[in-house]
C-alpha cells in the first residue's frame, strides 16, 4: 500500500463538512467514465494500468540498454520536449543528489543525463555541446512522430556529432529511439539504421508517459532503480481504485480542488520545501494545465518553491487577489539532515535554534505558512511523502495522474487531449516557411505589418 497521505484539515474554513460527501455522486460518474472508457478521450487511458500491465520483455531490454549506456558513456543526452522531457527531468532531480549535475563522475558513478530538444535556444544547445566536449556519450531521442520541431533540430545536430566522433556504424550503436511502435519518421529512420527502439504506447499521452520507456530508460541509465519505481506506482494503482471518497485520497484531492474552483479559487500553486522538487512542479504543471485548460475553463496551474519564494511571492500569496489555492508536497523525512551549530556569540540571534535540526526548522516554517495563508484567505492542501526514493516517486506520480483524470471529468472536459497546443505550431510553421503553411505565413506577416503602423 502506498505511504503517501493527503491532508485536507486546513480546508475547514473554506469547505463545509457536507460538501465532500455531496461530491460523491459526481465522483462516481467521473470514475465510471475513467474506468469504463465511457468518457471523452477513452483511447488515452492505458496509463491507468501501465504500472502492472507493462511489456516485461521491453522492460528487461530497457535495463540491459541502461547497463550498456553506463558501460560506454559518460553522458546520456535525452532529446525530447513536453511529456518526452519533463517527467524524466523531474525524476532525475527527485532521485539524485541536489548537485547531481555538478558532481565529479567518480562521485556520481553513473552517466550524467542531460537534456536537449526542449527549447529552440541556440545558446543552450551550443553550451550543451561544449559541456560534453570529448566525453563519450549516447543519445536517447524521444518522439512519437520524429517531426516535432524542437527535438528534430536537436537530434540532427547530435546525430551529426555522433557520426563525426564514432563513425556511422559506431553512432548507430549509441542511438536509442523511443517512438511509435509501427510508424513515423523516427521509427522509419531507426529501423533503417538498426537503432535499438522502445515504444511510446498508443494509449498513453505524453504527460502521462513517464512510467513508460519514455522515462524508464534514462532514469535507469542514471542509476535509479526502476523496479522500485514501478512497484510504488503499482501499489498506488491498487490503492486508488475505490471511488469512495472516504477511502480514496487521490479522489479526495480531485474533489476538493473542484469544490474550491467553483468557489472562485481558480489558480492552484503546487509548492514544496525541497529545491530538488522544482522540476516535479514543472511536470505537474503540464499534467494539470494540458489536462484541464480547455473550453475556457480549468484551474490555472502554477508553482512556488518554499521557503525561497516566501521572500518573493509570499506577499502576494498572503494579501493579493483571493483566487489562489495551494497544494504542498511535503517531504516528511529528508535524505540528509544538518544540525545547527552553536556559536561563541549570538550576533545572528540563532542561539534559540542551536542544536536543532534544519528539517525541524523547515517543518515549523511549513506549519507557520499554512496557518498564515489560511488566516489570509488561502486554502491549503498537503500531500505528505515519507522520503525521496523510487518507490515513493512511483506512488506520487500515479497519485497525481489519476487525480487529474478524475478532476477533468468532474469539470466536464476531456482530460486526455490538447487541441490548443496546435495553434502556435501552425503559426510557427507559417512563419518558418514550412511547405503547406504558406498562406498562414502570408496572413501573419500582413498582420504584423499592420500592427507596426
What residues are annotated to the active site? 290, 425
Contacts of 64-70 with CB under 8 Å at 24 or more apart are 65/176, 65/196, 65/198, 65/217, 65/221, 66/217, 66/220, 66/221, 69/111, 69/138, 69/176, 69/221, 70/110, 70/111, 70/221, 70/223
Q: Which of 227, 267, 208 has the alpha carbon at shortest distance from 44?
A: 208
Residue 42: in which H helix or E strand, if any?
none
DSSP 326-366: EEEEEESS-S---BPPP-SS-TTS-GGGTT-BHHHHHHHHH
Helical pair 24-36 and 249-262, crossing angle rounded to 10 deg:
120
How far is C-alpha 208 from the chain's CA centre? Answer: 9
Residue 358 near residue 244, CB atoms below 8 Å? no
Cα separation, 193 vs 168, whole angstroms:
9
Amino acid at each position: 500500500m502506498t505511504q503517501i497521505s493527503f491532508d485536507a484539515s486546513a480546508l475547514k474554513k473554506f469547505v463545509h463538512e457536507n460538501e465532500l460527501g455531496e461530491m460523491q455522486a459526481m465522483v462516481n460518474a467521473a470514475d465510471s467514465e475513467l474506468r469504463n472508457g465511457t468518457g471523452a478521450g477513452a483511447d488515452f487511458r492505458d496509463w491507468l494500468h501501465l504500472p502492472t500491465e507493462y511489456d516485461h520483455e521491453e522492460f528487461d531490454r530497457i535495463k540491459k540498454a541502461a547497463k550498456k549506456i553506463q558501460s560506454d558513456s559518460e553522458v546520456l543526452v535525452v532529446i525530447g520536449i513536453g511529456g518526452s522531457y519533463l517527467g524524466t527531468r523531474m525524476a532525475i532531480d527527485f532521485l539524485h543528489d541536489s548537485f547531481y549535475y555538478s558532481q565529479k563522475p567518480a562521485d556520481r558513478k553513473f552517466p550524467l543525463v542531460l537534456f536537449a530538444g526542449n527549447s529552440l535556444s541556440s545558446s543552450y544547445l551550443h553550451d550543451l555541446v561544449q559541456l560534453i566536449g570529448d566525453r563519450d556519450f549516447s543519445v536517447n531521442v524521444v518522439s512519437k512522430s520524429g517531426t516535432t520541431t524542437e527535438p528534430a533540430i536537436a537530434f540532427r545536430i547530435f546525430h551529426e556529432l555522433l557520426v563525426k566522433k564514432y563513425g556511422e556504424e559506431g553512432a548507430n550503436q549509441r542511438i536509442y529511439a523511443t517512438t511509435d511502435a509501427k510508424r513515423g519518421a523516427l521509427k522509419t529512420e531507426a529501423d533503417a539504421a538498426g537503432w535499438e527502439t522502445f515504444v511510446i504506447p498508443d494509449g498513453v499521452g505524453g504527460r502521462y508517459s513517464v512510467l513508460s520507456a519514455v522515462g524508464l530508460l534514462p532514469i535507469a541509465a542514471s542509476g535509479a532503480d526502476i523496479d522500485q519505481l514501478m512497484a510504488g506506482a503499482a501499489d498506488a494503482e491498487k490503492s486508488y481504485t475505490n471511488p469512495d471518497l472516504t477511502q480514496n485520497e487521490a479522489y479526495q484531492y480531485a474533489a476538493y480542488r473542484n469544490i474550491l474552483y467553483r468557489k472562485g479559487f481558480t489558480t492552484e500553486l503546487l509548492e514544496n520545501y525541497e529545491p530538488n522538487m522544482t522540476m516535479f512542479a514543472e511536470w505537474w504543471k503540464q499534467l494539470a494545465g494540458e489536462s484541464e485548460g480547455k473550453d475556457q475553463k480549468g484551474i490555472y496551474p502554477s508553482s512556488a518553491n518554499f521557503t525561497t519564494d516566501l521572500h518573493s511571492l509570499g506577499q502576494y500569496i498572503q494579501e493579493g487577489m483571493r483566487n489562489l489555492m495551494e497544494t504542498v508536497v511535503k517531504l516528511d523525512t529528508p535524505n540528509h539532515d544538518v544540525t545547527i551549530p552553536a556559536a561563541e556569540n549570538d550576533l545572528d540571534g540563532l542561539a534559540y535554534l542551536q542544536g536543532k535540526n534544519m528539517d525541524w526548522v523547515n517543518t515549523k516554517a511549513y506549519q507557520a505558512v499554512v496557518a498564515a495563508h489560511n488566516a489570509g484567505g488561502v486554502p491549503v492542501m498537503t500531500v505528505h511523502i515519507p522520503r525521496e526514493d523510487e518507490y515513493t516517486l512511483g506512488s506520487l506520480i500515479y497519485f497525481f495522474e489519476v487525480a487529474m483524470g478524475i478532476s477533468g471529468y468532474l469539470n466536464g472536459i476531456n482530460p486526455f487531449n490538447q487541441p490548443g497546443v496546435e495553434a502556435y505550431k501552425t503559426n510557427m510553421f507559417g512563419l518558418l516557411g514550412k511547405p503547406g503553411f504558406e498562406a498562414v505565413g502570408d496572413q501573419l506577416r500582413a498582420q504584423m505589418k499592420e500592427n507596426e503602423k
